[in-house]
Amino acid sequence: MLSWVWFGALFLIGLLLWGYFLNFGAIPVDFHDWAEVNAPRIAFLKDSVTKAEMPLHMQDSSALRGITDRYMALPDMILSPQIIILKWISVQDFVLIHVWLLYALGFFGLIALKKELNLSLLSFSWIFLLFNFNGHLTAHLSVGHVTWAGTFLFSWVIVRALEIQRGVADYRWLAKTAFLLFFMFLQGAFHQFVWCLIFFGFLAFGGKKSFFAVLKLLVFTVLLSAVRILPPALHLADFDSDFLGGFSRPGQLVRAFFKIISPMDSLDPTVTGSTLGWWEFDLFIGITAGLFLLLAGGFCLYQLRKNRSFLMLLLPITALTLFSLKPIYGLIHQLPIPLLNGERVCSRFLILPFSFWLAIAGLGYQKWINLRRDQLIPLIGSLLPLPLALAELWSHLATWKVTESVKAFPYTFTDLSRKVVANHPDPVYTNVLLIGLAISLAMASFLTIMAIREQGQLPMKPL
């Protein structure tokens, strides 16, 4: 009972904090990517559901980067079921509800993670705080990257990765994981979708069983997502794939975690050390949380130093961390592999290994607590850093809330009334969509049937 009261309190606090951050729906959408990209795209979806027309072609395609008027030909488009509510609410209110919804789904993922790792409420609270309110997520959402709300689903990705590390790799696991990644893709979280595929790809090196399980997962996920993958393939040659950068120096990486750089200074290279906006580097957690992650994470690795299957998580964590470094990923980006050269700002990779490190640190803290259950003073002392970490995160949240960010950018006029559906005959595009839909439905049916056939079989049979 106490657990659910605590969960409820944390959940409501999170809702209020995100509501405050997004000005409870009164979002100024006349600056940066709010005006140039996502508000127009959502306005187009609103017109689509209001008129009950398929969102195929966009009359004013400036929000599609001028590449095409084919809405579904860009991979980072929101096409998830919740767009239906746009018929009754404004673009700004939809953004708030969209973020709240994915926050809620991610919160349930954190509860599943607590169960998976057998964590206490205190360990859970640390993960909750840093997972939901780190600088990466708040800074990206602040400047209009609405699709970054898909990052909340990383909690479920962590759970699925931990399951395969303990030998769970049957068709039920495959179905749950593939549908999770496809659902993430539908949120417009194309970047996050790709990072997860790469992460699972590195997990394949954990042994023969893991290799074949991950191989099937990657194939099934791509086929399940065919309806979203095939249309963008029509314009592969048109996308701008120039590499823009990532973390270039150790000092820049350290600042990302520990220094609050305001939106007003976010485009000043003398402050950020880059011509890219600071939101591309920001991963602020504060000094208190940084020490917690370092000490608790290190303790976990020491305690589990002989657990080979768990330590295999360090391979993808290390790989994606290295991918965030400009000198390294700058070379990888030159490879003619669409999923790899599609990421133009490699510093973004870091949020996924960071999220996994949160789980490792939470487990390490739990193991430390378990060793000191009868020592009251150390346990009470370990509570003190949590409110300090909350205060530091609050400072960053208040600095980057949307009503503050808008002051740092020039006014950008956008007429949302012009973002309307303008469908026209386009047989190549529609045929590719239908082929992709057929493949996706076939794979969804296959995974569902195979998962149902295995229902009730305990323990789960590995592939």
Where helices occur in 149-263 by DSSP H, the ranges are 154-165, 171-186, 190-203, 208-224, 226-233, 250-258
**Each residue's pLDDT tens digit, 9-26:** 999 999 999 999 999 999
Residue 381 pLDDT exceeds 80: no
Residue 209 pLDDT exceeds 80: no
Closest CA to 91 of 145, 139, 45: 45
**Residue 242: which pLDDT band, with cuts at 50, 70 and 90?**
confident
Residue 238 pLDDT exceeds 90: no
* Residue 55 counted as domain residue: yes
Yes or no: say if 301 and 293 are a contact pair by the CB < 8 Å rule: no
* Residue 459 counted as domain residue: no
Torsion on CA atoms 452, 84, 53, 228, rounded to nearest 10: -50
Quick one: tokens of 198? 């790469």
The mean of the pLDDT values for the chain is 93
Yes or no: say if 71 and 64 are a contact pair by the CB < 8 Å rule: yes
Residue 406 pLDDT exceeds 50: yes
* Residue 462 counted as domain residue: no
**Each residue's pLDDT tens digit, 301-336:** 999 998 888 888 999 999 999 999 999 999 998 888
* Residue 225 counted as domain residue: yes
Q: Which residues pair with 245 in a beta bridge?
A: 345
pLDDT, position 65: 84
* Residue 346 counted as domain residue: yes
Q: How far is CA 98 from the centre of its chain?
A: 14
* Residue 248 counted as domain residue: yes
Where helices occur in 54-134 by DSSP H, the ranges are 91-117, 121-133
Q: What is the C-alpha to C-alpha distance for residues 447 and 349, in angstroms, rounded to an integer?
A: 29
Yes or no: say if 152 and 351 are a contact pair by the CB < 8 Å rule: no
From 139-143, 411-415, 459-463, the region with the lowest mean pLDDT: 459-463
Residue 376 pLDDT exceeds 70: no
Q: What is the C-alpha to C-alpha distance for residues 359 and 119, in angstroms, rounded to an integer?
A: 10
**Residue 374: which pLDDT band, with cuts at 50, 70 and 90?**
low
**Each residue's pLDDT tens digit, 146-164:** 999 999 999 999 999 999 9
Q: How many domains does the chain have?
A: 1
Give the mean pLDDT of 213-235.
96
* Residue 408 counted as domain residue: yes
Q: Report the percent of the chain where pLDDT is more than 70.
A: 97
pLDDT, position 341: 78
Phi, psi of 54 (to 5 degrees): -65, 140
| One-character DSSP codes across 379-414 | HHHHHTHHHHHHHHHHHHHHHHSHHHHGGGS-----
- Three-class DSSP category at 175: helix
Range of the domain at 230: 2-454
* Residue 66 counted as domain residue: yes
Quick one: tokens of 258? 């520990």
Give the mean pLDDT of 85-113.
98
CB within 8 Å of 455: residues ≥ 6 apart: 172
Yes or no: say if 141 and 27 are a contact pair by the CB < 8 Å rule: no
Phi, psi of 399 (to 5 degrees): -70, -35
pLDDT, position 239: 84
Q: What is the C-alpha to C-alpha distance for residues 352 and 357, in angstroms, rounded to an integer?
A: 9
Q: Which residues pair with 345 in a beta bridge?
A: 245
Q: What is the C-alpha to C-alpha distance for residues 272 and 193, in angstroms, rounded to an integer?
A: 28
- What amino acid is encoded at 423 in this protein? N
Yes or no: say if 366 and 123 are a contact pair by the CB < 8 Å rule: yes
**Each residue's pLDDT tens digit, 40-76:** 999 999 999 999 999 999 998 889 988 899 999 999 9
Cα first-last separation, the chain: 38
**Each residue's pLDDT tens digit, 260-298:** 999 999 999 999 999 999 999 999 999 999 999 999 999
Tokens 């000005």 correspond to what residue? 23
- What amino acid is encoded at 401 in this protein? K
**Each residue's pLDDT tens digit, 248-265:** 998 999 999 999 999 999
Give the mean pLDDT of 372-401.
86
Q: What is the C-alpha to C-alpha distance for residues 391 and 408, in angstroms, rounded to an integer?
A: 24
Residue 443 pLDDT exceeds 90: yes
